[in-house]
Chain A
């Protein structure tokens, strides 16, 4: 093995204070980028969580609907037209909307009603930890997430409250169905949802369409479009993307997160560049000696690049450990930070690129080195 790595590691660890300062810079930068991107992923995951948990092939949505939460309504007559299209297995209405939840204490809090058909399997509460979702069709009953118990003033199955003046009873409890708006999701039967949200009986928020197994997806979508006028007909993936893009980019939230991540990367690059340059300056006489001995420039560049890579790997390891703690700490929060294996790989690549780019300044300094300086005692 070449001594370049040994030389790089010794140069790095020789000045411990500078090494620690560099590591802090890298860790700060990588954690900042990680948190920003983790928030981006977490937010992106949350804004599409309802769509992701719906087993529909196609969504028929009101004209111009930009997201799942869009309050516009469809004419329910479309349901029969869509159900009659060749290749369509079922078309079920979904009713959503904001409402008021009155706790037994008299306090009122806003909730987001999701009216589903508990038997059609289109959209149902998931991660049910207590109770039975099928009970949603049995009168004024609701399913809520346990993380909202305090907000909703209930303690589990059997808890009661009022929605728009109507008494409701909790029959199912879920785990991890949180809303990015912080307004709790409350699952109810689609019929009751009309009452709680004030949706007229001839209207629905969306239609969840399932195709027959042998249906030609493209042709069926075109046929549905021909039946629904100006309503939107989107595959689940298209609706997911539309919803995701609206909340992340239409609102500027995504841009803000990306800007934070970019800032983190720039700060990290500048810190590493500064410390690497100063380390190189401190070892100039050694590099000049190498040059006087006849080493090629690339040999010296390797030493500097190894220093940069060591910085990157050690800094990233610490940042990854902190990231794991952050993920664990925010897992049950209103906006969990999501770190996927791809994000980890991308962050490692970013850290390496950041540190190698930082080495450029030091390399430019080395290019100008004069080996004759070793004779100037």
Chain B
């Protein structure tokens, strides 16, 4: 097995996804081949309706491909039922959503703790790990705050802490900076880049926000359900900022 294969923790091969049937049939993905590797922050970019979110859902085991295969950390998602797919997500993937999706009635630390709780990790150890995850994103002073007491940037950092607290191999982020101003957007992207490089995780960010390009190791473009081109960020004319 080559190093490249070992590093590849999400692999999509010939993935086709259709919606509807007959005259209403829509080809959202038309044959995607994509590898997401550990230690890299990969950007998936494309215009609205290009198939970004559909691809994210397929890679995140929330949507099954019409044909083709997706492998997560060596496990094929083919023929897995909903519970098995949920377990795959639980074991390997952390999610960051555009709208944060924090639980409004829980404190920041409880929101983070939830990611451990669903994995069966409770008690003081879970609280300690959640505190540490919040400290990692610079929110050690806000652990008792509820989402409505936090700014948008802080809420997204809580969401990142929630995504990383269980130490998943993969972080999938959907437009994580879309609702944030420039400074908060940069802070979020810096956190995600740190996770990819310092913690050796595979981070895939779906975005159409050009401000995040400087943080990418690799940029993948999608258009009309097809990967248009792929290039390392540097050869794309982008320079990764000093973190």
| Residues of A bordering B, CB below 8 Å | 1-4, 6-7, 10-11, 14, 285-286, 289-297, 299, 370-372, 374-375, 377
State the CA gap A82–B115 with chains docked (Å).
81
Pair A291/B86 contact, Cβ less than 8 Å? yes
Nearest residue, chain B, Cβ from A289: B101
Pair A11/B105 contact, Cβ less than 8 Å? yes
State the CA gap A6–B82 with chains docked (Å).
26
Q: Mark B114-150, 1 if CB is under 8 A from A, else 0.
A: 1101110011000000000000000000000000000
Pair B122/A292 contact, Cβ less than 8 Å? no
Min distance, Cβ B220 to any Cβ of chain A, angstroms: 18
Give the interface centre of B57, B63, B113, B174 by most chain A CB atoms within 10 Å. B57
Within 8 Å CB of A286, what residues of B? 101, 103
Within 8 Å CB of A299, what residues of B? 117-118
Judge if B99 is at the interface, Cβ distance under 8 Å.
yes
Given A14-B105, A374-B97, A3-B90 contact (CB < 8 Å): no
Main DSSP-derived SS at the A contact region: helix
Pair B103/A293 contact, Cβ less than 8 Å? no
State the CA gap A14–B118 with chains docked (Å).
22
Within 8 Å CB of B95, what residues of A? 292-293, 374
Pair B115/A293 contact, Cβ less than 8 Å? yes
Nearest residue, chain A, Cβ from B97: A374
Known contacts A286-B103, A374-B95; can you find 20 more A-B pairs with CB under 8 A? A1-B123, A3-B114, A3-B122, A6-B110, A10-B105, A14-B104, A285-B101, A289-B97, A291-B86, A292-B101, A293-B89, A294-B88, A294-B119, A297-B86, A371-B86, A372-B57, A374-B101, A375-B57, A375-B98, A377-B99
Pair A6/B118 contact, Cβ less than 8 Å? no
Pair A296/B117 contact, Cβ less than 8 Å? no
Nearest residue, chain B, Cβ from A290: B118
Nearest residue, chain B, Cβ from A295: B118
Judge if B180 is at the interface, Cβ distance under 8 Å.
no
Question: Can you give 20 contacting A-B residue pairs, CB < 8 Å?
Answer: A1-B122, A3-B113, A4-B117, A6-B106, A7-B103, A7-B105, A7-B114, A10-B106, A11-B105, A14-B104, A289-B97, A290-B118, A292-B97, A294-B90, A295-B86, A296-B90, A371-B86, A372-B62, A375-B53, A375-B62
Given A1-B123, A377-B98, A371-B115 contact (CB < 8 Å): no
Nearest residue, chain A, Cβ from B53: A375
Min distance, Cβ B208 to any Cβ of chain A, angstroms: 13
State the CA gap A371–B58 with chains docked (Å).
12
Nearest residue, chain B, Cβ from A9: B105
Min distance, Cβ A131 to any Cβ of chain B, angstroms: 66
Pair A3/B117 contact, Cβ less than 8 Å? yes
Chain B residues 48-71 with CB under 8 Å of chain A are 53, 56-57, 60, 62-63
Within 8 Å CB of B97, what residues of A? 289, 292, 374-375
Pair B117/A294 contact, Cβ less than 8 Å? no
State the CA gap A279–B123 with chains docked (Å).
27
Within 8 Å CB of B53, what residues of A? 375
Nearest residue, chain A, Cβ from B101: A289
State the CA gap A299–B122 with chains docked (Å).
13
Min distance, Cβ B144 to any Cβ of chain A, angstroms: 14
Give the interface centre of A10, A294, A297, A299 by most chain B CB atoms within 10 Å. A294
State the CA gap A299–B87 with chains docked (Å).
12
Pair B110/A3 contact, Cβ less than 8 Å? yes
State the CA gap A100–B93 with chains docked (Å).
88
State the CA gap A371–B60 with chains docked (Å).
10
Judge if B229 is at the interface, Cβ distance under 8 Å.
no
Min distance, Cβ A302 to any Cβ of chain B, angstroms: 11
State the CA gap A4–B103 with chains docked (Å).
12
Judge if B91 is at the interface, Cβ distance under 8 Å.
yes
Within 8 Å CB of B91, what residues of A? 294
Within 8 Å CB of A7, what residues of B? 103, 105-106, 114
7 closest residue pairs by CB, A with B: A294-B90, A10-B105, A294-B89, A295-B118, A289-B101, A3-B117, A372-B62
State the CA gap A231–B114 with chains docked (Å).
74
Residue B118 contacts which of A10, A296, A377 (CB distance < 8 angstroms)? A296
State the CA gap A334–B97 with chains docked (Å).
66
Pair B114/A290 contact, Cβ less than 8 Å? yes
State the CA gap A370–B63 with chains docked (Å).
10
Judge if B198 is at the interface, Cβ distance under 8 Å.
no
Pair A294/B57 contact, Cβ less than 8 Å? no
Pair B99/A292 contact, Cβ less than 8 Å? no
Within 8 Å CB of B117, what residues of A? 2-4, 299
Within 8 Å CB of B110, what residues of A? 3, 6
Min distance, Cβ A82 to any Cβ of chain B, angstroms: 72
Within 8 Å CB of A289, what residues of B? 97, 101, 103
Residue B93 contacts which of A4, A11, A294 (CB distance < 8 angstroms)? A294
Given A294-B93, A295-B86, A371-B62 contact (CB < 8 Å): yes
State the CA gap A1–B116 with chains docked (Å).
12
Within 8 Å CB of A375, what residues of B? 53, 56-57, 62, 97-98, 174
Pair B122/A372 contact, Cβ less than 8 Å? no
Pair A293/B114 contact, Cβ less than 8 Å? yes
Within 8 Å CB of A10, what residues of B? 103, 105-106
Min distance, Cβ B75 to any Cβ of chain A, angstroms: 13
State the CA gap A25–B105 with chains docked (Å).
25
Min distance, Cβ A273 to any Cβ of chain B, angstroms: 22
State the CA gap A289–B114 with chains docked (Å).
11
State the CA gap A83–B63 with chains docked (Å).
88
Nearest residue, chain A, Cβ from B88: A294
Nearest residue, chain A, Cβ from B117: A3
